[in-house]
Amino acid sequence: MDLFTWGFISIILIFMGGKIFYEFRMYKNSVYKMIYSSFIEYRSRRKSIEGMSESYAFRDAFGPHRIIFSALEDQKMVPASFMTVFLSSGCYVFGICTKAPAANSIARTKAFFSENVQKKLEGTVYGSEKIPVTFRLLLPDNLPGKISGDKGIIRRQELVTELTRLHKEAPAIWSAEDVDHLFRTIAAQALKTEEESSLSSMLTKDM
């Protein structure tokens, strides 16, 4: 290969290396590092909602599970992002905070659940059930100050420990099929939009 070709390849490699390094830094400082077994797993799963909904680490720790990530349009709210986890023992909703929570942050997390989870189950086989749900706020590990001791607030590094404790203390009420059905019911619109977007992209490439 000539010098020009080598130079072009070097630029591509540097660009890709920089992109991966940036993604790794984002991953390292996020809640994702507590959910996925490695950066490689996270990077392979983040391409789709379906992929992000499962984790090797959660599979080993909890068995059947599904994870749904959601974000509000107004990112100034605390929390503005949420993680809903379905396990055989129930539903767990985490408000993901990037700064100190406000006095109404737990209430905001409960309101998110009512609007984005509970309401979508109305008219389904689970609509008549009282869904067992637990709420927690997830704070950054490096956030200054001490946590008040409120059971509703934990550091991100405590996520798996806390979820394990809650899971073990609760009886199994859902089968693997229930967990999957709940996920597909709640994420139905997002999955449909993602599929249509993927199909549109494929059609465009074929033209």
Mean pLDDT of 94-110: 88
Tell me the pLDDT of the chain averaged across its residues: 83
- Rounded percentage of the chain residues whose pLDDT exceeds 90: 47
Helix (H, G, I), strand (E, B) or coil at 167: helix
**Residue ranges per structural domain of the chain:** 63-206
Contacts of 136 (CB under 8 A, 6+ apart): 92, 93, 94, 95, 152, 153, 154, 162
Mean pLDDT of 58-63: 96
Say what the pLDDT of residue 146 is: 66
Asked whether the beta carbons of 98 and 54 are under 8 A apart, the reply is: no
| pTM of the shown model | 0.83
Does pLDDT of 14 surpass 70? no
Between 123 and 75, whose confidence is greater? Answer: 123
Does pLDDT of 23 surpass 70? no
Between 14 and 188, whose confidence is greater? Answer: 188
Say what the pLDDT of residue 205 is: 42
Does pLDDT of 57 surpass 80? yes
pLDDT classification of 7: cutoffs 50, 70, 90? low
Say what the pLDDT of residue 201 is: 47
- Contacts made by residues 153-158, CB under 8 angstroms, sequence distance 24+: 153/101, 156/31, 156/34, 157/34
Phi, psi values for residue 144, rounded to 5°:
-60, 155
Cα(79)–Cα(144) distance, integer angstroms: 17
3-state secondary structure 110-163: HHHHHHHHHHHHCCCCCCCCCCCEEEEEEECCCCCCCCCCCCCEEEHHHHHHHH
In terms of average pLDDT, the best of 125-134, 136-145, 183-192 is 183-192
Q: Helices (DSSP H) in the chain: which residue ranges?
A: 3-28, 39-45, 49-52, 56-62, 105-113, 119-121, 159-169, 176-186, 188-206
Asked whether the beta carbons of 174 and 86 are under 8 A apart, the reply is: yes
Does pLDDT of 69 surpass 60? yes
Say what the pLDDT of residue 124 is: 84
Mean pLDDT of 20-41: 81
Mean pLDDT of 17-45: 80
pLDDT classification of 26: cutoffs 50, 70, 90? confident
pLDDT classification of 133: cutoffs 50, 70, 90? very high
- pLDDT tens per residue, range 160-199: 999 999 999 999 999 999 999 999 999 998 898 888 776 5
